[in-house]
Structure 1
Amino acid sequence: MEEMSLLNHSGGPVTRSRIKHDLADLGLKDGDVVIFHTRMSAIGYVAGGPQTIIGALLDVVGVRGTLMVPCGWNNAPPYDFLDWPRDWQDALRAEHPAYDPDLSEADYNNGRLPEALRRWPGAIRSRHPDASFAALGPAAAELMAEHPWDHPHGSDTPLARLIAHSGRVLLLGAPLDTMTLLHHAEALADVRSKRFVTYEQPILVNGQRVWRQFRDIDSEEGAFDYSTVVRRGVEPFEAIARDMLSAGIGRQGRVGAADSYLFEAEPVFNFAINWIEAKLKR
């Protein structure tokens, strides 16, 4: 009964050819370099699941195009493990596996698609344990190369390179506040009240497990206090994205049953950094 309700809601099974058609109508095209965020349940009953969605995306961007997703690390040590009792910390340090781009699962909070893409034959994942991305296509190696250990959302990162490649941002049923590219604007915005985090995670160095300290903007609790410029109950990234859409940046359409959006990466970054600086420098 639940499956039939879902089928009725979505207008029937959402197939690879239907997704391909809807993506083309939205404006995605051959040769695009695109970072995508997906809420698969919003699309409807996708016949074949993540494999179907990735297949449809590849159909549209073609052999010249590149797909990119934010991954993170699902089983990363908690940021606050340094507050644990000493014997707990020692146990974690002694045996927690190092981040491995080939083995470490993508963060489940990013949905099913990042894990599916990073495991796709030919995909490349960046080296950063906490802020990793994965990409598939001819630009993948350049996008993922030498992901900076510190400030992994800032300059010379996969997000910066996405802009340099005239990339695009696709939200397939995903909320506007999931747009990872806005962290790049936060990282580079000239605002003094920026919040940072430092944390430790194990990585592989010449085949050996090594604990390393990292520094980044606080992308979990928020790089800034937006409470004075965004009304209560609204996610800051959603507010920025809606203002962006009102300014004529981005396209909206349907993919399956899902409200979806397609943006050019550079205008998104320029708008977001100006928005942040104008509102938070007051």
Structure 2
Amino acid sequence: MSSQPPHGPLCTLDSLSSDLRALGAAPGETLLVHSSLSALGWVCGGAPTVVRALLDVLGPDGTLVVPTHSTENSDPAGWIAPPVPRAWWDEIRATMPAYDPRTTPTRGVGLIPETVRTWPGAVRSDHPQTSFTAIGPRARTLTAGHALDCMFGEESPLARLEEAGARVLLLGADYDSCSAFHLAEYRLASPPLDDNSFAVQTPQGRRWVTVRDVAVDEEDFERLGADFEGQGPVVHGTVGRARARLFPLADAVAYAERWLGEHRVPAGG
């Protein structure tokens, strides 16, 4: 174990709840949270304390939503972090465990979403790679109907969050994590398409399936987010030591539609 003192500040349930309220998070609202636990400081109780603080602020009528992606359930031919030998590809495709919303762990989204995934009463959507998990009275409505060929589009929780008037909280996370911008990619005139493969459980048993879906790309989301901040209704604050930004999801999607339409070359263009 490290002999170095922890990086502060000391964050408790009460201090995090107070910071979130000061930022403007409100009881009864629906909140999509992208987060970094390490950005907050030293949290007494770790990720469960952050989840409790979010639920405390939202109250019994509010709904917490987080990305619970499991991107390792994918074609190994596209793996780069790290790659695997080509000789393994066929066996990986044949043996990759089928997605199970109850047990498949998250990957690459942090400890807070993984904690939400296993929280009592949590409801997770059915996409094997880009699921979202929700806690609260709107959880089932927001996560229902997540189509296999629609990671982030109209048949995903992002569209349901837009309809519900949700807000996005970037809690120590940057705009390259802002999944709401992906919904705008689906609404471009000619979005690029690609094959997407994964293991799913069907009534006939486990299957490796390939679907055609929009090829999403967050490479320019930081520039998009910076421009959105200059013109959009973004509330800034600090939670623990983390930079926090709070804004309406629908406004972010509408701005991203215009911005991407101007800055990206259409597929085949």
CA gap 1:200/1:281 in 2 versus in 1, 3 angstroms: closer
**Ranges in structure 1 where 5+ consecutive residues have no aligned partner:** 224-234
Structure 1 equivalent of residue 166 of structure 2: 167
Among 52, 57, 60, the residue aligned to 1:60: 57
**Ranges in structure 2 where 5+ consecutive residues have no aligned partner:** none
Q: CA deviation at 1:274?
A: 0.9
Structure 2 equivalent of residue 103 of structure 1: 103
8 A Cα contact 1:34 1:170, kept in partner: yes
Q: CA deviation at 1:86?
A: 8.6
> 1:236 and 1:255 mapped to 2: Cα distance?
26
Structure 1 equivalent of residue 15 of structure 2: 18
Structure 1 equivalent of residue 179 of structure 2: 180
- How many pairs does the alignment contain? 262
TM-score (norm 1): 0.86
Q: Which amino acid aligns with 1:148?
A: A
Structure 1 equivalent of residue 255 of structure 2: 271
The answer to whether the aligner puts 1:201 opposite 2:202 as a matched pair is no
The answer to whether the aligner puts 1:240 opposite 2:237 as a matched pair is no
Instruction: Please identify which structure carries the higher helix content.
Output: 1
Q: CA deviation at 1:117?
A: 0.4
TM-score (norm 2): 0.90
The one-character-per-residue Cα deviations of 1:61-84 (angstroms, maximum 9, x if unpaired) are 011111111111154144517999
Q: CA deviation at 1:46?
A: 0.8
8 A Cα contact 2:74 2:196, kept in partner: no
> 1:242 and 1:206 mapped to 2: Cα distance?
46
List, as ranges, runs of 4+ consecutive aligned residues in structure 1 with deviation greater than 4 Å: 81-87
> 1:253 and 1:187 mapped to 2: Cα distance?
30
The answer to whether the aligner puts 1:126 opposite 2:110 as a matched pair is no
Q: CA deviation at 1:261?
A: 0.3
CA gap 1:4/1:139 in 2 versus in 1, 3 angstroms: same
Structure 2 equivalent of residue 212 of structure 1: 209
Q: CA deviation at 1:212?
A: 1.3
RMSD of equivalent CA atoms: 2.3
CA gap 1:142/1:94 in 2 versus in 1, 3 angstroms: same
Identity %: 35
8 A Cα contact 1:81 1:89, kept in partner: no
Q: Which amino acid aligns with 1:238?
A: E
Q: CA deviation at 1:245?
A: 1.1
Q: Which amino acid aligns with 2:235?
A: R
Structure 2 equivalent of residue 40 of structure 1: 37
CA gap 1:268/1:2 in 2 versus in 1, 3 angstroms: farther
